[in-house]
Amino acid sequence: MPMERRRFLQMTALLGGSAAIPALAHAAPQGLRVRHHDVAFQGAAQWHGGRLRVAQLSDIHVGWGTTAGVLAQASLAANQAQADLLVLTGDYLNHSLAEIDNLEAWLKTLPRPCVATFGNHDHWSGVAGIRKVLEKNGIITLVNESLTLDLGGKRLCVVGVDDGFTHHDDSEKAFSNVALPGNALVLAHEPRTADRVSRAGGRLVLSGHTHGGQVVIPGLTRALTAAIGMRYVAGWYQAGDAQLYVNAGVGASVAVARVGDQAAPELAVLDLA
């Protein structure tokens, strides 16, 4: 588990104590949330009207910490979103390739086109094996690189920045072939990578990693995340000159329930115009 999340959960247990139990019971999430967002996107100017719909899933964590039910909800919601593009922002497994066959079975249920980048748990599990399975199933992977897609006659540059938590990110390399960085959609698992993406010219970044805080207790979570330096936890932020969206993700690699609406499993649907 990333150090920030481990420290956050430890501090929640120590400081919340028994007084937090009623709040936790009240806040327990019920299934996957579909969150819709209208996004002012600089790159939309070249489309001469209309919009593109992008759906985002993150932090899948196929394995014992993620139920089959929530995986099924995530793939169903992704198909029902009728998006022009599905993007995946990392953490497909936990700490090994033991669940790679179950990951592949789930990937087959997702809509296409689909573009993916990688997270810290992928590097810990075996990123080469995960990348092979993604690409075998028709999912485009971007590792500090970019690609321009034609989506129903609208061209969209997608930049994939590798995981910043494990120091595999290279924003300069990722944007090296991008003529108009501000017109790109950027995928970067670790939210703090958005600060470096902004300096490279990126203006819209989708990330995950935080699980929305995992355990959200009113009046306590914000203080704890600030104390351990988690500046970007869930939802929208301004990171330099870039808009950053932090997706709460789908699953978990730990035996800690997601608590609170902010931390509920999520599919984000973004209409870019």
DSSP H or E stretch at residue 7: helix 3-16
Which pairing describes strands 242-246 and 85-89: parallel, antiparallel, or unpaired?
unpaired
User: What is the spatial distance between Cα 252 and Cα 97, in angstroms, rounded to a whole number?
Assistant: 16
Encode pLDDT of 100-119 as tens digits: 999 999 999 999 999 999 99
Tokens for 188, please give them. 């970067």
pLDDT at 256: 75
208 Cβ neighbours under 8 A, 6+ residues apart: 58, 59, 89, 90, 91, 119, 189, 191, 246, 247, 248, 249
| Lowest mean pLDDT segment, chosen from 37-51, 105-119, 208-222, 257-271 | 208-222
Q: Which fold does the domain 3-12+27-272 belong to in CATH?
A: Purple Acid Phosphatase; chain A, domain 2 (3.60.21)
The mean of the pLDDT values for the chain is 89
Return the number of other C-beta atoms located less than 10 Å from residue 180's C-beta.
Answer: 12
User: What is the spatial distance between Cα 14 and Cα 108, in angstroms, rounded to a whole number?
Assistant: 42
pLDDT at 254: 82
State yes or no: pLDDT of 11 exceeds 50. Answer: no
Calculate mean pLDDT across residues 219-231: 74
SS3 193: helix
pLDDT at 16: 38
pLDDT at 26: 39
State yes or no: pLDDT of 18 exceeds 60. Answer: no
Phi/psi for 65 (5° steps) reads: -85, -5
| Lowest mean pLDDT segment, chosen from 30-44, 121-135, 176-190, 219-233 | 219-233
Amino acid at 25: A
State yes or no: pLDDT of 222 exceeds 90. Answer: no
Domain boundaries defined on the chain: 3-12+27-272
| Spatial CA neighbour of 125 closest among 102, 99, 106, 97 | 97
pLDDT band with cut points at 50, 70 and 90 for residue 54: very high
pLDDT at 68: 95
* Its pTM surpasses 0.95: no
- Burial of residue 129 (number of CB atoms within 10 Å: 0-12, 13-18, 19+): middle
Which residue bears the tokens 């978990």? 252
Percentage of the chain beyond pLDDT 70 is 89
Residues 157-173 as b/e (b if ≥16 CB within 10 A, e otherwise) read bbbbbbbbbbebbbbee
79 Cβ neighbours under 8 A, 6+ residues apart: 109, 110, 111
User: What is the spatial distance between Cα 250 and Cα 127, in angstroms, rounded to a whole number?
Assistant: 19
State yes or no: pLDDT of 9 exceeds 70. Answer: no
